[in-house]
Amino acid sequence: MPVVMDCADSSQGRVCYLPFPFSRGCKVRACSDTGSFYWQINALRYGPGVEVQTLPAQLKATERSSLAALCTR
């Protein structure tokens, strides 16, 4: 589940944290109907042998609670 918020105090932009795991490569494509379009995409590569937990289809109750608390902030 992505976390999305408006940043009205800064550049009127929006922030979206959307983690998605990949193993060998990843291609990100985007388009916009407006003239103001900016993307910043960050990736984190782990070393060999590091186990990465994938994002589950359903969140646990504690994770849902943490996400709800985050969204109210």
70 or 15, which is more confident:
70
Interval 2-19 mean pLDDT: 66
> What are the phi and psi torsion angles at 51 (to 5°)?
-85, 130
Contacts by 20-23, CB closer than 8 A, 24 or more apart? 20/55, 21/52, 21/54, 21/55
Q: What is the residue-averaged pLDDT of the chain?
A: 77
